[in-house]
Amino acid sequence: MDLGDVLHYKWRRPIAAVSASGPSSSTKLEESGRKVGGLRFYLSYMAKDRAALAGLVIIVAFLGWAFIELVAQEVANLTNHPEYAYALLPSNPTALNFNEKLVPPSLNQFPTLLLGTNYQGQSLLSRVLFAAPHDAIASLAIVGSAILIGMFLGTAAGYLGGWLDELIMRLTDAFLSLPALVLAITVSVILGASGTSGFYAVLVALSIVWWPTYARFFRAQALSIRNAAYVESSKLSGSGSLRILARHIIPNSIDPVVAYATLDLGTVILTYAALAFLGIGIDVNYPEWGADSSLGLSFFPAAWWWAIMPGIVITIVVIAFTLVGDRLQDLIVGRMTY
Amino acid sequence: MVSSIAFYIARRAINAVVTIVFLIFILFLMIHIVLPNPLALARIYALSPHVSLGVLQGIVKQYGLDQPWPVQFGNYVVNLLSGNLGTDTQYHIPEIQVIGRYIPITLELVIIGQILGVLMGLYTGGIAASNRNNPIDYGTKAVYLTTWSAPVFVIAFIVQLIFAFWLQLLPSSGVVDPTLPAPAATTGVPVIDSVLAGNWAYFWSLTQHLVLPALTLAIVSFGLVTRISRASMIDALDKDYVKLAYMKGLSKRQVVWGTAFRNSLIPIITLVALIFAFSAGGAVIIEDVFFYHGAGWFTVNAIYNFDYPAILAFTIIIGFSVVIANLVADLLYAAADPRVRLT
């Protein structure tokens, strides 16, 4: 058994006990699995590809910073001390300072002017750092909810079949017949009309739009696993549908989704930025990466950095997710030599 | 054989109609959950925020907004069959007249951009595959991963910066030079109209304005084509007929672009439909950056007025185009590869 198979079992730990021929072999798998699994294994796997390692570092930095800044902003909200929210930033991202308006990127006053300033004299670096939590929350929340909804609907459709399958797949097709961005625009505008605008409306709109790909994924997985020997044997031993779904079908469907989800985190950030660029769901007092780019459009190309710099930051973060997602996909598909 | 293809198309078409009607149903349901009060809907049609209740009630009567929403949905679908997409809330004329003017402009952009993107992708994919695992391959991958991961508006900005502002080769925004007299709208598609009218100045201006948005769209979408065509090219290059071609003494260029290339084209056909949907989304942003007044630009403006018939119309038209693109791709796929059977 090569490493790929071992990994396969490691990732599918729940089935090791059932699918392998007996309890003794499953414990063996667990033992050999421990050597290749775990954080250390994945780190060393990533380290073999320098680009993926760089991507991982950027992702960790992005998520770590987003968490720290989120805590700072929440503390500021709770204690009524707005200055806490930008205590860690080079400068206040929302204060007006017309003495320094439209300063091009430079190394003076490092790091405040690194990305230049906008018309209000606010440091773009501070604004980009301040806005990070929204993008991190959006990507994690949307992909998370898409996996949950897709898992629920897709597995139900694939495993139960019949008219339920037909209904769910028609719904999925209806959503997939439109580009996600167009549908997200439509849904967030509809939601915005009721007065629920801003960040949460966009989150809701994106989660309504995002699940169909995952539903397809999980349905295909459920269809292929449904007739596996271990599902049959579980049925024969008297398990009900729910138990089979929870113990066998779902745990076995997850791993191909993981790599796709990593890539998808980047796609969500792109779509979220595009919505903010169009002015959907933005709050005047809260900078957004996409919205800052859009504001810079009026001063383009004279103050080119205003429009381009936030976009470059988005690009770097999304590339990081793409590199890591690609590498994970190679691992899961098993076409890599280790 | 012919009848089986006709049967297949009919079945797919019925499926497509069901899908689109379902989509409209979902959107209708959402609108009426969010705005259950007919007066709130009527307010969108009113041109001023200070209209009296009587006027609003008149609007409710005029557009039948007080009917139960399933009835309104039914009416909408029935009207749709005769090409009626409702009445625009801002201009108070049939939606099809409003958005119909902008759709051909967007189609021009998407089709030209997509052709450019596919050509670019096929070329870079072929280059990457024939130089597998050497710096050229990695360089190509670095380029397309970057363009793939960059937001559409950033690519648009950079294209604009380089070609319009630094090199000053092409106009940075707009659809056409507004000082030129427009040719008679025979077909509604400006490029075709200007050719029919023999108005070459207008045609030239249209083309110049189209290049940068189309190039942006191509840069946004070529990465996916590169990736797939690289993979299918690598597959083709490993085949026996390629070895045979080498043995016959053909040069590497002849083998790669003559023999392997044509055999690697088939998976691209399905991809084209996929990219079409993707491009339609990207076109919204590109039109916003380039002030390219097409359907995407119109829809973004409709967003601010909550002009929901316009947004619904745009959504439905895009949905239809994507479904049709998918159908055409599947038929072409079957035509290109005799091993594929339509079922």
B248 min Cα distance to partner chain A (Å): 32
Once rounded to an integer, what is the mean pLDDT over residues B122-149? 90
Q: Do A322 and B304 touch (CB under 8 A)?
A: no
d(CA A65, CA A70): 8
Does residue A293 belong to the interface with chain B, where contact is any CB pair within 8 Å?
yes
Residues of chain A numbered 120-139 and touching chain B (CB < 8 Å): none
Q: Which residues fall within 8 angstroms of residue A31, CB to CB, at 6 or more apart? A: none
Give the contacts of B337 (CB within 8 A, at least 6 positions apart). Answer: B266
Question: Given this model, what pLDDT does residue A152 score?
Answer: 92
Whether omega before A111 lies within 30 degrees of 0, making that bond cis, reads: yes
Nearest Cα of chain A lies from the Cα of B151 at a distance, in angstroms, of 6
pLDDT digits (tens, 9 = 90+) for A235-259: 888 888 888 888 888 888 887 788 8
| CB of A194 less than 8 A from some CB of B | yes
Tell me the per-residue pLDDT of B186-203, one tens digit each, with 9 for 90 and over. 787 888 888 888 888 888
What pLDDT does A195 receive?
Answer: 65
Instruction: Answer for the pair A290, A314: CB distance below 8 angstroms, yes or no.
Output: yes
Which among B115, B112, B151, B99 has a CA at the least distance from the CA of B315?
B99
Enumerate residues 136 to 165 of chain A having a beta carbon within 8 A of any beta carbon in chain B.
none
A190 at the B interface (CB within 8 A)?
Answer: yes
Helix (H, G, I), strand (E, B) or coil at B52: coil
Contact B146 A315 (CB under 8 A): yes
Question: In angstroms, rounded to a whole number, what is the distance separating the alpha carbons of residues B113 and B120?
Answer: 10
Could you give the percent of chain B with pLDDT greater than 70? 98
Interface touch A290/B35, C-beta < 8 Å: no
Whether residue A179 lies within 8 A of chain B, CB to CB, comes out as: yes
In whole angstroms, give the CA distance from residue B128 to residue B107: 31
Which residues of chain A does B303 touch, with a Cβ-Cβ cutoff of 8 Å? 185, 189, 278-280
Instruction: Tell me the average pLDDT across A219-235.
Output: 87
Q: Is the bond into B104 cis (omega within 30 degrees of 0)?
A: no
Q: Which chain A residues are Cβ-neighbours of B15 within 8 angstroms?
A: 173
Q: Is the pLDDT of residue A4 over 70?
A: no
Is the pLDDT confidence value at B304 over 80? no
Give pLDDT, residue A9: 40
**B244's tokens:** 């045979």
SS3 B94: strand
Look at A275-284, A328-337, B136-145, B331-340 and tell me which has the smallest mean pLDDT.
A328-337
CB B189 within 8 A of CB B108: yes
Residue A290 CA to residue A109 CA, distance in Å, equals 25
Q: Is B318 close to A182, i.e. CB distance below 8 A?
A: yes
Which amino acid belongs to residue A289? Answer: W
Nearest residue of B to residue A270 by CA position?
Answer: B151
Which residue of B18, B145, B151 is in closest CB contact with A314? B151
A191: tokens are 């939601």
If phi over 0 gives left and psi between -120 and 50 gives alpha, with beta otherwise, what is residue B86? Answer: left
pLDDT at position B2 is: 63
Task: Inspect the interface and report whether the beta carbons of A170 and B19 lie closer than 8 Å.
Answer: yes
Decide if pLDDT at B83 tops 90. no
Instruction: Note whether A201 and A191 are within 8 A (CB).
Output: yes
Across the range B168-172, mean pLDDT stands at 87
Residue type for position B51: V
Q: Which of A170, A178, A315 sits opposite B319 (nearest CB)?
A: A178
Secondary structure letter of residue B87 according to DSSP: B
Residue in chain A closest to B308 (alpha carbons) equals A190
**If you ran DSSP here, which 8-state letter would residue A190 be given?**
H
Is A277–B288 a contact, with Cβ atoms under 8 angstroms apart? yes
The Cα B17–Cα A315 span in angstroms is: 38
Give yes or no for a contact between A235 and A159, defined as CB atoms under 8 angstroms apart.
no
Residue-by-residue DSSP string for A300-328: TTTTHHHHHHHHHHHHHHHHHHHHHHHHH
For residues A75 and A60, the answer to whether their CB atoms sit within 8 Å is: no
Amino acid occupying residue A72: A
What pLDDT score was predicted for residue A197?
62
Residue, of A19 and A41, whose pLDDT is higher: A41
Contact A53, A327 (CB under 8 A): no
Question: Residue B34 is nearest to which of A190, A274, A290, comparing CB atoms?
Answer: A190
At A322 the pLDDT is 92
Mean pLDDT computed over every residue of chain A: 82
Among chain A residues, CA nearest to B304: A189
The residue-averaged pLDDT of B210-219 equals: 94
Q: Report the candidate in A311, A202, A268, A203 with the shortest Cα–Cα distance to residue B303.
A: A202
Q: Residue B157 has what pLDDT?
A: 93
User: From CA B213, how far away is CA A225, in angstroms rounded?
Assistant: 46
Per CB-CB distance under 8 Å, the chain A contacts of B304 are 279
Inter-chain CB proximity A308 and B148 less than 8 Å: no
| Residue at A190: amino acid letter | I
In angstroms, the CA B200 to CA A159 distance is 61
**pLDDT over threshold 90, residue A280:** no
Bridge partners of residue B94, in order along the sequence: B87
- pLDDT tens-place string over residues B220-269: 989 889 988 898 888 888 888 888 988 988 888 888 888 888 778 888 88
- A308 with A302: CB under 8 angstroms? no
Residues of A with CB below 8 A from B322's CB?
Answer: 177-179
Residues A322, B34: C-beta atoms closer than 8 Å: no
**Interface list for A 250-269 with B (CB within 8 A):** 266
What's the pLDDT band for A36 if we cut at 50, 70, 90?
low
C-alpha dihedral sign at A296, A297, A303, A306: positive
Torsion on CA atoms B267, B272, B274, B278, rounded to nearest 10: 140
10 Å CB burial of residue B12 (0-12, 13-18, 19+) is middle
- Cβ distance A278 to B165 less than 8 Å, yes or no, reads no
**What is the DSSP secondary structure assignment for residue B184, as one 8-state letter?**
P
Contacts of A300 in chain B (CB under 8 A): 157, 160-161
Which chain B residue has its CA at the smallest distance from A308's CA?
B154
Cβ–Cβ contact A25 with B under 8 A: no
Test B157 with A181 for CB contact under 8 angstroms: no
Q: Count how many pairs of residues, chain A against chain B, have C-beta atoms within 8 Å.
A: 142
Of A294, A301, A322, the CB nearest to B148: A322
- Cβ of B151 within 8 Å of Cβ of A290? The answer is yes
Pick from A177, A191, A270: CB nearest B34: A191
Q: What is the pLDDT of residues B16-47, one digit of tens each?
A: 888 888 888 888 888 888 877 888 778 778 77
Residues of chain A with C-beta less than 8 angstroms from the C-beta of B287 = none
Cα–Cα distance, A40 to A223 (Å, whole number): 34
Q: C-alpha distances in angstroms, B266 versus A12, A111, B342?
A: 35, 51, 15
Structure tokens at B126: 């072929």
Spatial CA neighbour of A138 closest among A42, A264, A223, A29: A264
Q: Give the pLDDT band (50/70/90) at residue B150.
A: very high
B331 has pLDDT over 70: yes
A 308-327: CB under 8 A from B: 308, 311-312, 314-315, 318-319, 321-323, 326
pTM for the full predicted model: 0.87
Q: If you ran DSSP here, which 8-state letter would residue B50 be given?
A: T
- Report whether B214 contacts B116 (CB < 8 A): yes
Q: What values do phi and psi take at B155, rounded to 5?
A: -60, -40
What is the Cα gyration radius of chain B? 24
Q: How far off is chain B from A315, nearest CA to CA, in Å? A: 4
Spatial distance between the Cα atoms of B277 and B270, rounded to a whole number of angstroms: 12
Please state whether A197 falls in left (phi above 0), alpha (psi between -120 and 50) or beta: beta
Taking Cα atoms as reference points, which of A220, A205, A204, A225 lies closest to residue A168? A220
Query: Coil, helix or strand for A109?
Result: coil
* Residue A92 dihedral angles phi and psi, to the nearest 5°: -70, 120
Query: pLDDT at residue B215 above 90?
Result: yes
